[in-house]
Amino acid sequence: MAVKRRPMLPDDLDLDAMTAAPGSAAPQPFLREQPAAAAAPAPDLPEAGKVGLKEKAVNMSIYLLPDDHRRLRRLAVDGDTSIQTLVLDGIDAVFSKHGLAPVKRWETRRKLR
């Protein structure tokens, strides 16, 4: 049983009368730039002049094998510090070796327990 499909173009559309004008159309926005279907509430913006670390810093990832990650976590726990601090200390050592200033540190926000 064949399914009858409706034509996608209107019957009165004359394609022969149309002319192409390359570059005259507005570019389509990227998918991530298209407006959301449902308007989500706007996130709380920081106060004017108050910019957090996420707005100033660059995120970076490294890949470690599980054994190396476990050793790094153990060093952080034994030294009562964070992996972030150990990595920054390592970057400081590389910078020092090349005669560069250490990484600029920032105050971390910690919740009181």
CB proximity list for 59: less than 8 A, separation 6 or greater: none
**In Å, how far from its chain's centre is CA 3?**
46
- N-to-C CA span, the chain: 70
SS3 89: helix
Give percent of the chain with pLDDT exceeding 70.
70
Using alpha carbons, list the distances in angstroms from residue 90 to 3, 26, 84, 104, 108: 67, 49, 10, 13, 19
Backbone angles phi, psi at 17, to 5 degrees: -85, -10
d(CA 2, CA 30): 38
- Residue pLDDT, tens place only, 49-91: 666 777 788 888 999 999 999 999 999 999 999 999 999 999 9
- pTM value? 0.50
Smallest Cα–Cα separation from 63: which of 87, 79, 44?
87
